[in-house]
Amino acid sequence: MTEDTIKNLLQQADRAAGEPALVSIDLSAVRRNANRRQTINLAVRIVAAAVVVIALGIWSFSAKKTRDRQRIVALEMQIEQLRAQTDATLRLIREVLDEDRKQRRLNELQAQLASYTDPLEEIKKQVDKTAFILVYQANRMYRELDQKDAAIQAYNRVIEFFPQSRWAEEAQQRISEIQNEQTNNSKGDLI
Amino acid sequence: MAKTIDDELLVEKFSRGDETAFDRIVEGYSADIAVLANRLLGWPGEVEDIVQDVFLAAFLGLKKFRCECSLKTWLFTITINKCRSYRYRQMLNLRFFSKPAATTSATGASDVGKTLVDDETFRKVRHAVQALPLKYREPVILRYLQELSTDETARILDISKNVLQVRLSRARERLKRDLAELIG
């Protein structure tokens, strides 16, 4: 069976079925339906656009909210860091101030200490003074009161109590003078 | 060619807001569309609703028509799509509500004087065409009954010419097999 045979057979069968019933198109109905569909399409587009706008609004609002939340969290972290830094700085300042106070107190104490005279020196002075007084009294006993023995006794006391002082040498020298003088006097008496 | 130029003028007029142009398009093509729909739906005889739907779709889409193909091709494409939707709806009705399909039973207005044997033969031929799968039935109707060119048929079905040839060949094979007992 060739293509043409099939085609002929099909066309004969088609013709045998006859033409469809006369179609009368209601153009006013077509226009009415078209207008209705266009209106519906427009309404659907408007609704869709409104939905999209609302969705975008909600999305941007939630995105903004999320962004705000993230910013708040970031700011809170920054504040926390700044607080920690401030605390550390305050601790450092407090330590520096304490150190400064201690240094000042130390300086004051050192100044105070520096203002005090050395007790050893004082004692030395007093010792020297005592030795001097004893030598002075011994000198008076010898020269003004002519109490040679008492004077020698006093000089010996100086030598005994203050052997390191210069007055001990002075006392020794006086004793030697007195003894020389006594020796010379006894020689003179003998002569 | 002259008809194509006329069509383009009508489309141009319609795009500018002249709705009488659409009336002329309906006058010019309603019969062709009715015949095509009748064949695609299995010769039911009553195709007014489909034709109305086709022109409604054309009215809504005509302003977007860019004359890349002829108006006839464009209208036939709409008709094919509307018939597919119609058959799909019928299939759903059949499936969910168990209504009998109305597409295969028609005998149409047979010519008086034809023999009963011829009537029976042609009824079987039409039935064989209806029994073809959609992808074979549409090319057969467009190419052999509507006598459109290969280019037009391929364009309407949105397939390549090679695919069209293959489908026609397979459709012929099936028809030969189904109609062998009739023709011998």
* B177 Cβ under 8 Å from any chain A Cβ: no
In this model, does residue A187 exceed pLDDT 80? no
- Mind listing the pLDDT tens digit for each residue in A110-157? 998 888 888 888 888 888 899 999 999 999 988 888 888 889 999 999
List the Cα angle B31/B37/B43 in 5-degree steps. Answer: 105
* A115 Cβ under 8 Å from any chain B Cβ: no
What pLDDT was estimated at residue B113?
Answer: 47
A138-146's contacts with Cβ under 8 Å and 24+ in sequence apart are A138/A171, A138/A174, A139/A174, A142/A174, A142/A178
What pLDDT was estimated at residue B148?
Answer: 92
Q: Hey, is A184 helix, strand or coil?
A: helix
* CA closest to B183 among chain A residues: A1
What gap in Å lies between CA B179 and CA A5, rounded to an integer? 12
* CA closest to B56 among chain A residues: A30
Selected residue of A5, A12, A30 to mutate for chain B interface (largest B Cβ count, 10 A)? A30
What pLDDT was estimated at residue A190?
Answer: 67
**Helices B161-183 & A3-17, crossing angle to 10 degrees?**
70
Q: Is B89 exposed, middle or buried (0-12, 13-18, 19+ CB in 10 A)?
A: exposed
* B63 Cβ under 8 Å from any chain A Cβ: no
Cα separation values, A146 from A136, A143, A179, A183, B123, Å: 14, 5, 14, 16, 186
Domains in chain B and their CATH numbers?
Answer: 1-103 (1.10.1740.10), 107-184 (1.10.10.10)
- Mind listing the pLDDT tens digit for each residue in B73-92? 999 999 999 999 998 888 88
Among the partner-chain residues A3, A13, A38, the one whose CB lies closest to the CB of B122 is: A13
**Helices B20-40 & B2-15, crossing angle to 10 degrees?**
120
- Mind listing the pLDDT tens digit for each residue in B49-73? 899 999 999 998 888 887 778 899 9
* A21 Cβ under 8 Å from any chain B Cβ: yes
- At residue B167 the predicted structure's pLDDT band, cuts being 50, 70 and 90, is very high
Q: Hey, is B68 helix, strand or coil?
A: coil
What pLDDT was estimated at residue A4?
Answer: 85
Q: Is B156 exposed, middle or buried (0-12, 13-18, 19+ CB in 10 A)?
A: buried
A19: left (phi over 0), alpha (psi -120 to 50) or beta: beta
What pLDDT was estimated at residue B105?
Answer: 43
* CA closest to A25 among chain B residues: B52
The answer to whether residues A84 and A76 touch, using CB atoms and an 8 Å cutoff, is no
The position carrying tokens 């459709």 is B171
Q: What is the DSSP letter of B42?
A: T
- Mind listing the pLDDT tens digit for each residue in A9-63? 889 888 888 888 777 788 888 888 888 988 998 999 999 999 999 999 999 888 8
What gap in Å lies between CA B130 and CA B104, rounded to an integer? 7
* B21 Cβ under 8 Å from any chain A Cβ: no
Average pLDDT, chain A: 89
What pLDDT was estimated at residue B107?
Answer: 44
* A2 Cβ under 8 Å from any chain B Cβ: no
In this model, does residue A96 exceed pLDDT 90? yes
Q: Hey, is B1 helix, strand or coil?
A: coil
3-state secondary structure A135-148: HHHHHHHHHCCCCH
* CA closest to B40 among chain A residues: A14
- Mind listing the pLDDT tens digit for each residue in B9-35? 888 888 888 888 888 999 899 999 999
Binary contact (B108, A18; C-beta < 8 A) = yes
- Smallest Cα distance from A21 to chain B, Å: 6
* A63 Cβ under 8 Å from any chain B Cβ: no
- Token duo for residue B174: 């099936």
Contacts of A84 (CB under 8 A, 6+ apart): none
> What is the arithmetic mean of pLDDT over B142-161?
92
Contacts of A17 (CB under 8 A, 6+ apart): B38, B43, B106, B107, B108, B109, B110, B122, B126
Q: Is B168 exposed, middle or buried (0-12, 13-18, 19+ CB in 10 A)?
A: buried
In this model, does residue B111 exceed pLDDT 50? no
What pLDDT was estimated at residue A45?
Answer: 94
Sign of CA dihedral B174, B177, B178, B182: positive
Q: What is the DSSP letter of B62?
A: G
Average pLDDT, chain B: 83
In this model, does residue A8 exceed pLDDT 70? yes
The position carrying tokens 């729909």 is B37
What pLDDT was estimated at residue B29?
Answer: 92
- Token duo for residue B171: 């459709």
- Smallest Cα distance from B1 to chain A, Å: 26
* A31 Cβ under 8 Å from any chain B Cβ: yes
> What is the arithmetic mean of pLDDT over B95-102?
57
> What is the arithmetic mean of pLDDT over B150-157?
92
> What is the arithmetic mean of pLDDT over A74-81?
95
In this model, does residue B109 exceed pLDDT 80? no
Helices (H) and strands (E) in chain A, counts: 5, 0
* A7 Cβ under 8 Å from any chain B Cβ: yes
- Token duo for residue B10: 């009508």
* Nearest by Cα to B168 from B182, B80, B33, B148: B148
What gap in Å lies between CA A117 and CA B21, rounded to an integer? 131
Say whether pTM exceeds 0.80.
Answer: no
* CA closest to B175 among chain A residues: A6
Whether complex ipTM tops 0.85: no
What gap in Å lies between CA B19 and CA B113, rounded to an integer? 45
